[in-house]
Amino acid sequence: GLNWAVERLCHTQQYNLEHVENPVITGFQWKPYRVTLNHEFGKGALKILGKYNTNSNSNTTNSEKNDDIGDKGRRPNIKVLLLSRNPLDRLISNIRHKGHIRSEEMPAHCAIDDTDCVNRHRAYAKGTILPTGKELIHSMRSGFQIDRLCKTYLTEYGVDYLAVQYEQLFNDDGNVDEWIKIFDFLGRAPKDVVDYKTNLTMEDIRRAFAMAPTSSKKHVESIANYDEVKQTLEGAGLTRLLH
């Protein structure tokens, strides 16, 4: 029903308490497709999540916030991280995963220390062919629209959320500002880092990764029809998406 998101959080939290040593954060991934966001269960779930925002300044009355979820002092403040990504990179990732034949030889992801797996993924990625023309432009603009729609709904329903950018989280320049924003928002500090606002490094972040990055940082290396894609994006004023 409409309460599915909160119920899933509760089930995940219970599992973590039983199977994870000293769990501090419980969460799950919800991919924001337009059809699910606009569905009654999508909007309904966001509205209920807004009721768990103990910091909300929305127009929702206290009586409405307390409906069916118990006393304010006992309910947790559920937070949402909205992760946005360059729609061109998102499209490349989707095409790659769709084309993968799941097997031991080519799993969906690679363990952080599995060099052979990473090399196979990167070799496969060099052959990624993207749509061009109107199809590509539509895909890029739809990606931007979904990001805006998410922010609109999260704000409208009073959900406690923070918007972060994928490219700023997984970068090569050593900047950890986006990660610090997340820790501040969650009210949690990374393990084994004293005074993380001053001392946190990307090396600390990467040590916590379970999966290895498998994508090339350069589109010219990962997109087989790069010249045609570049021409399409130039014509649409979207060359900023290329890197």
Amino acid identity for residue 134 in this structure: K
Residue 61 is predicted with a pLDDT of: 43
**pLDDT value at 207 more than 60:** yes
Question: Under 8 Å CB-to-CB from 112, ≥6 apart: which residues?
Answer: 209, 210, 211, 212
DSSP 138-194: HHHHHHHHHHHHHHHHHHHTT-EEEEEEHHHHS-SS---HHHHHHHHHHT---TT-T
**pLDDT value at 99 more than 70:** no
Question: Under 8 Å CB-to-CB from 123, ≥6 apart: which residues?
Answer: none
55 vs 52 pLDDT, higher one: 52
Predicted confidence band of residue 101 (pLDDT cuts 50, 70, 90): low
Instruction: Tell me how long the chain is.
Output: 243
Residue 68 C-beta-side C-alpha neighbours within 13 Å: 7
**pLDDT value at 10 more than 50:** yes
**pLDDT value at 76 more than 70:** yes
**pLDDT value at 72 more than 60:** no
What is the pLDDT of the chain when averaged over all its residues? Answer: 87
Q: What are phi and psi of 210, to 5 degrees?
A: -95, -25
Residue 104 is predicted with a pLDDT of: 61
- Least reliable range by pLDDT among 80-89, 108-117, 183-192, 229-238: 108-117
Residue 168 C-beta-side C-alpha neighbours within 13 Å: 12
Task: Specify the 3-state DSSP secondary structure of 37.
Answer: helix
**pLDDT value at 71 more than 70:** no
**pLDDT value at 176 more than 60:** yes
Arithmetic mean of pLDDT, 22-41: 90
Residue 63 is predicted with a pLDDT of: 40
Predicted confidence band of residue 193 (pLDDT cuts 50, 70, 90): confident
Residue 49 is predicted with a pLDDT of: 96
Residue 67 is predicted with a pLDDT of: 53
Residue 39 is predicted with a pLDDT of: 95
Residue 165 is predicted with a pLDDT of: 96
181 vs 124 pLDDT, higher one: 181
Residue 130 is predicted with a pLDDT of: 96
> Is the pTM value of this prediction over 0.75?
yes
Measured between its terminal Cα atoms, the distance across the chain in Å is 42
Amino acid identity for residue 91 in this structure: L
59 vs 27 pLDDT, higher one: 27
Predicted confidence band of residue 143 (pLDDT cuts 50, 70, 90): very high
Residue 54 is predicted with a pLDDT of: 84
Arithmetic mean of pLDDT, 130-159: 97
Name the burial class of residue 128, with classes exposed (0-12), middle (13-18) and buried (19+) by CB atoms within 10 angstroms of its CB. buried
Residue 62 is predicted with a pLDDT of: 43
